[in-house]
Amino acid sequence: MKKKNLILLFCCALTSGKAEAHDIISSRYSYREHVLPILEAHCVRCHSPEGPAPFRLTSYLDARPQAVAIKEEVLLRNMPPWYAEEGQQGLIGEHRLSAAEVDIIVEWASGGAPEGKRTPGGKTLEKIKPPEVADLELELPEQILVPGKQRETVRLTLDTGLSETVWITGWELSGARADLLRSASLYRVRIAPENYLGTRMSIDGKLSWAAGAKLEAGEDLALSILYTRPWTLGDKRESVRGRLRIWLSKTRPQRLLHARTLGETGDLPPGSRLFGVLPSTPMKLKASGETEDLLAIFAAPGHWPLLYRFNEPLKISGKLEAGPKTRGIVLYTAP
Ligand code: HEC
């Protein structure tokens, strides 16, 4: 009898005391042992001081207040920004959480978001590759970001100053604050689907094709740039500059890069290889006569323009089909 009372008292004291100071910990998973490795694999390239995201997830102190938001974002599949379903065809840089990883995050966030044991040191520093020398560097005009506007898409043309015909083989955005200059789509001459040369975030590094896109002497390049104002800026006016770095070939490469809209009917040229897709709507992309989807996209939010690229450019003969209401641009190479 005495013993029972004692146990009861002890339990009450424990739970009430704990509930005041912290949440009750029911999660089997902790930040340090289970959650951080997932964040490092899928989130930290953006949620770190150099990334575009407005807060970091690299320490418990930073991640703990976001626990509920993290759970919601991963359940809604808003984060990480990657809206392609797992498919037969592997994509470059897939950033999809597995069901097991989602479960760990959900249990952690719902179960008191414990920190877990500190594991001693041991974080290996990533080797930073020295930047490749580009053939052409063009400064982007300064952009002022005024309070009150969260996002802005700016279209501009850039004079390359080139006096001979060249073939563009790759490009990247650089020298910009990734939180302000989020991403850009590049076009030859002017913004039109058939001139499309890919989309890149400022943290992404170089995009290249093992093919060239022809630019005649005197022709311009055009960009559609997505600028963002993270909430951390408050009322501050901020300006951002960036640079476009371009790689060129002076002789015609064996294969040329082409783009077309998804709505365009007709066969792709013989020997075509599908390089990637920029979706503007959800879609299921197929090669005509095939049953398997080449790519299935479940969302295409305007503030996350993403070019999905295949690990290996796909050999395609015939037409591409994506359904009547789908929109987007496909990039392919052909001899
Ligand atoms: C490609 C960059 C990128 C990656 C990868 C990324 N995020 Fe984000 N995240 C952002 C940006 C940028 C924002 C700010 C909101 C916006 O601009 O859309 C954000 C916002 C958030 C928010 C706040 C959402 C809100 O509006 O309340 C949460 C929570 C979040 N991210 C969690 C995650 C988690 C968890 C992962 C990994 C599983 C992840 N993010 C991966 C860029 C990224």
User: Are both 242 and 140 inside the same structural domain?
Assistant: yes
pTM, entire model: 0.89
Is-cis flag, bond preceding 270, omega within 30?
A: no
pLDDT tens digits along 153-211: 999 999 999 999 999 999 999 888 999 999 999 999 999 999 999 999 999 989 999 99
The residue whose CB lies within 8 Å of the most ligand 1 atoms, and thus the one to mutate among 31, 46, 173, is: 46
Query: What is the Å distance from ligand 1's center to 218 Cα?
Result: 40
Question: For 87, left (φ over 0), alpha (ψ -120 to 50), or beta?
Answer: beta
To the nearest whole percent, how much of the chain has pLDDT over 90? 74
- Average pLDDT of each block of 10 consecutive residues along the chain (335 residues)? 45 39 82 96 94 94 96 97 92 93 97 86 58 91 90 95 96 91 96 97 93 96 95 88 95 96 88 96 91 94 95 90 92 96
71 inside domain? yes
Query: What is the Å distance from ligand 1's center to 294 Cα?
Result: 27
Residue carrying structure tokens 């089997």: 28
130 inside domain? no
> What is the average pLDDT score of the chain?
89
121 inside domain? no
User: Are both 215 and 168 inside the same structural domain?
Assistant: yes
User: Are both 189 and 234 inside the same structural domain?
Assistant: yes
Q: Which of 110, 127, 153 corresponds to the end of one domain?
A: 110
38 inside domain? yes
User: Are both 209 and 266 inside the same structural domain?
Assistant: no
Atom of ligand 1 nearest to the CA of 72: 29
- Confidence at residue 175, expressed as pLDDT on a 0 to 100 scale: 80
The number of domains in the chain is 3
The residue whose CB lies within 8 Å of the most ligand 1 atoms, and thus the one to mutate among 64, 79, 181, 308, is: 79
Q: Which residue, judged by its Cα, is nearest atom 28 of ligand 1?
A: 70
- Confidence at residue 88, expressed as pLDDT on a 0 to 100 scale: 83
Q: Which of 93, 110, 127 corresponds to the end of one domain?
A: 110
Cα diameter, the chain: 97
**Could you tell me the residue range of the domain that residue 230 belongs to?**
136-249
Query: What is the Å distance from ligand 1's center to 215 Cα?
Result: 37
User: Are both 44 and 75 inside the same structural domain?
Assistant: yes
User: Are both 148 and 187 inside the same structural domain?
Assistant: yes
- Confidence at residue 10, expressed as pLDDT on a 0 to 100 scale: 45
Query: What is the Å distance from ligand 1's center to 190 Cα?
Result: 32
- Confidence at residue 234, expressed as pLDDT on a 0 to 100 scale: 86
Atom of ligand 1 nearest to the CA of 73: 29
User: Are both 226 and 275 inside the same structural domain?
Assistant: no
The rounded distance, in Å, linking the Cα atoms of 197 and 257 is 8
184 inside domain? yes
Ligand 1: lining residues by beta carbon, under 6 Å: 42-43, 45-47, 52-54, 66, 69-70, 73-74, 79-81, 95, 97, 228, 303
203 inside domain? yes
Which amino acid type is present at position 76? L
User: Are both 240 and 273 inside the same structural domain?
Assistant: no
- Confidence at residue 318, expressed as pLDDT on a 0 to 100 scale: 83
Query: What is the Å distance from ligand 1's center to 44 Cα?
Result: 9
User: How far from chain centre, in Å, is Cα 305?
Assistant: 8
The rounded distance, in Å, linking the Cα atoms of 87 and 84 is 8
Q: Which of 249, 283, 312 corresponds to the end of one domain?
A: 249
For the domain that residue 209 is a member of, what is the CATH number?
A: 2.60.120.230
200 inside domain? yes
CA triplet 107, 109, 115: central angle to 5 degrees? Answer: 100
- Confidence at residue 95, expressed as pLDDT on a 0 to 100 scale: 87
Length of the chain: 335
pLDDT tens digits along 32-68: 999 999 999 999 999 999 899 999 999 999 999 999 9
125 inside domain? no
Nearest to 226 by CA among 140, 330, 134, 139: 140
